[in-house]
Amino acid sequence: MKDFLFNFKMPEHFFITGDPLIYGAYVSIILVSLAILFVLTYYKKWVWLWREWLTTVDHKKIGIMYLVAALLMLFRGGVDALLMRIQLTAPNMHFLDAEHYNQIFTTHGTIMILFMAMPFLIGLMNVAIPLQIGARDVAFPALNAVSFWMFAAGAMLFNISFVLGGSPDAGWTSYTPLAGSALDPGPGQNYYLLGLQIAGIGTLVTGINFLVTILKMRAPGMTLWRMPLFSWSTLITSVIIIFAFPVLTIALALLTLDRVFGFHFFTLAGGGSPMMWANLFWIWGHPEVYIVILPAFGLFSEIFSTFARKKLFGYNAMVYSMLAISALSFLVWVHHFFTMGSGPWINSILSISTMLIAIPTGVKVFNWLFTLYKGRVEFKTPMLWALGFIPIFLVGGITGVMLAVAPADYQYHNSYFLIAHFHYVLIGGTVYGCIAGLIYYWPKIVGWLLNEHLGKWAFWWFTIGFNLCFIPMYIVGLKGMTRRMYTYPAGLGWETWNLIATIGAFAMGIGFIILVWNMYYSFKHRQNDTTGDPWNGRTLEWMTSSPAAEYNFAVIPQVKGLDAFYLIKKERAAGVKEEAPEIKPIHMPKREAFPVIMSAFMFVAGFGFVFEWLQIGFLGLLGSVITMIWRSFNDYDRDYYIPVEEVKKTELAAGRRV
């Protein structure tokens, strides 16, 4: 017992040392932490932080926290990318050694997919979906806070690997046997497993929450077929999450058992199967790609329709094609390993099922283009990002079809051609969608607009940089350069292309800096959105004030058709008299402390298991279970009513008629 309690086996390197980058990281982490503590204490903001943010269950605030986290992670993943690009600028560079490079490409991939793309989209869903369907909050507000804090705990755990114990280094795909304890001992790979596990629970809960929210909480009159496309895409994405994420949970749990407890699920010795990991990973991994693209499709649909000032073309076909994509997303996973010997029958069938995805996706692209037809297209910054998405995603899509051709994939697999392809779809689709959505919803989130002029500079720097960075990768891929090489020899005709790619990557970085600078600049030179409807929007979120009041709608609106707010505005313009709605007391959830406490315990548990200090690990788990049980027995007095007087006061303050 004593041995168990006090057995703190130290890994070879607990504090990572010996590299100026790492020392820089230590210094900046300590300085930033001290600065935050000082500011909070000096301005007496601790109570404010606890009451307004840490314990909030308001979907709008949770959305903001997701977005802040996503932008920070975009920065971290972007720095990883730039470090890799510096190392590959010229042949035989010594900027990074193999071990560092391997860690950096692993964290880059993992962070960008799971800690950047996912929270970015979930953040935008949180900000917009309840407003868009005319609800006061999500179906389970406290659970929504659990989602966010679980994600935050997972993301923090993953990120401290950089300074404590070392980062994972087996690629974001973490293939066994390389990622097994025999070939990759130490805490690095455990960080991957535990970080993703904890964050993954949050994502799964989000999927359930939004599924129920959209099915049960729509405003009266909003049938499913009157729902805006972003709500549709979120609904479909939630279903994919519910089916796909449990597979990740299981896969991570099995590999954790292998690594920490000496099981043999994926180790050949003892009869395990390393191939099983590749299958499980991609059974989750391919649907995951659609989890991060479908919400972006939804955002683009809203933006095209708004800035073309036209109904979305082929609404029904848009919904059906998303349903088709979501079904197909579970039927194509083998295309990630055609070259692992599945045999000609399986390769042929999965080749064709992969190509089939191009059909509904093509329908969507043509419908977006015809949304512009006979419209009045305004090139506001959200629209620029949405328009930029079309040609970029087109290139990503057609090269995706090329990769689906199994025998040709034998030549593309794991080469830079593949890298270029998935960056064209993931950046062109997801990142452009996220940025377009962020700028679009910005006034609804904070109440003032982002500067258009700076926004355009950001767009062009990013877009030109992006193409300069990734077109060369198609070419070096065909010339035989494989992914994850930390350096390359001279004389293979790769040098020029790599140099151009690095220049492009830095241009993208400048684009990102302008985007962030724009947030500060626009705050300094605030142009307030007093109407709540800065873009002449068509859906219900634009009916509220900017930012929306805590309760979203003083009176839940009646929905009479697709583009509900557009219809209301049309009636108003035609002079149809609106009945003065009667305001009633509004039923709202109270703030909750248990999500952040429970997640803190999960963080402790994760940290313990990472270093295989099982006593700490189980202690953390126990803590979070006890928190859960405590919450179950305190399920009373969790809600309150906002009195009519207060609602009226808030509405008047926002310049609204009461």
Exactly one of 29, 79, 86, 358 binds another protein (CB under 8 A); that residue is 358
11 lies in the site for another protein, by CB under 8 A: no
Q: By CB under 8 A, what part of segment 587-646 binds another protein? A: none
Q: Kindly state whether residue 540 participates in binding another protein, applying the rule CB under 8 A.
A: no
Complex with another protein: residue 67 or 111, whichever CB lies closer: 111
The residues in 174-203 that bind another protein, with binding defined as CB under 8 A, are 175, 177-178, 182-184
Q: Tell me if 355 contacts another protein by CB under 8 A.
A: yes
Of residues 65, 71, 222, 312, which one binds another protein by CB under 8 A?
Answer: 312
CA end-to-end span of the chain: 68
Minimum separation from the CB atom of position 262 to another protein (A): 11
Amino acid at 546: S
- What's the CA gap between 44 and 22, in Å, rounded? 32
407 binding another protein? (CB under 8 A): yes
CB contact at 8 A, 605 and 579: no
- Cβ-based nearer residue to another protein, 479 or 584: 479
Taking CB under 8 A as the rule, does residue 539 contact another protein? no
From CA 476, how far away is CA 419, in angstroms rounded?
10
Candidate residues 129, 406, 540, 568; the one interacting with another protein per rule CB under 8 A? 406
Under rule CB under 8 A, residue 224 binds another protein: no
Residue 282 touches another protein, criterion: CB under 8 A = no
- Based on the shown chain and the rule CB under 8 A, indicate whether residue 366 belongs to the binding site for another protein: yes
**Smallest separation (angstroms) from another protein to the CB of 558:** 21
- Is position 62 an interface residue for another protein (rule: CB under 8 A)? no
242: contact with another protein by CB under 8 A? no
Residue that has been written with the tokens 């926290």 in this structure: 65
Nearest to another protein of 130, 509 (CB atom): 509
**Of 17, 33, 496, 615, the one binding another protein by CB under 8 A:** 496
Q: What Rg value do the Cα atoms of the chain yield, rounded? A: 25
Burial of 510 (C-beta count, 10 Å sphere; 0-12/13-18/19+): middle
State the number of CA atoms in the 13 A half-sphere of 499 facing the CB. 8
Cβ neighbourhood burial of 399 (10 Å; 0-12, 13-18, 19+): buried
Per CB under 8 A, contacts with another protein among 450-469 are 456, 460, 463-464, 467
How many CB atoms are closer than 10 A to CB 102?
A: 19
Q: Where are the strands (E) in 28-81, listed by range?
A: none
Interface with another protein, residue 565, by CB under 8 A: no
The correct pick among 19, 52, 378, 645 for binding another protein (CB under 8 A) is 378
Which of 82, 163, 377, 567 is in the footprint of another protein by CB under 8 A? Answer: 377
SS3 573: helix
Q: Kindly state whether residue 573 participates in binding another protein, applying the rule CB under 8 A.
A: no
As given in the structure block, the two tokens for residue 448 are 């003032």
Nearest to 69 by CA among 131, 159, 167: 159
569 binds another protein (CB under 8 A): no
Q: Which residues touch 352 (CB under 8 Å, ≥6 apart)?
A: none
Range 419-448, binding another protein (CB under 8 A): none
Measure Cα distances from 475 to 141, 481, 548 in Å: 49, 9, 48
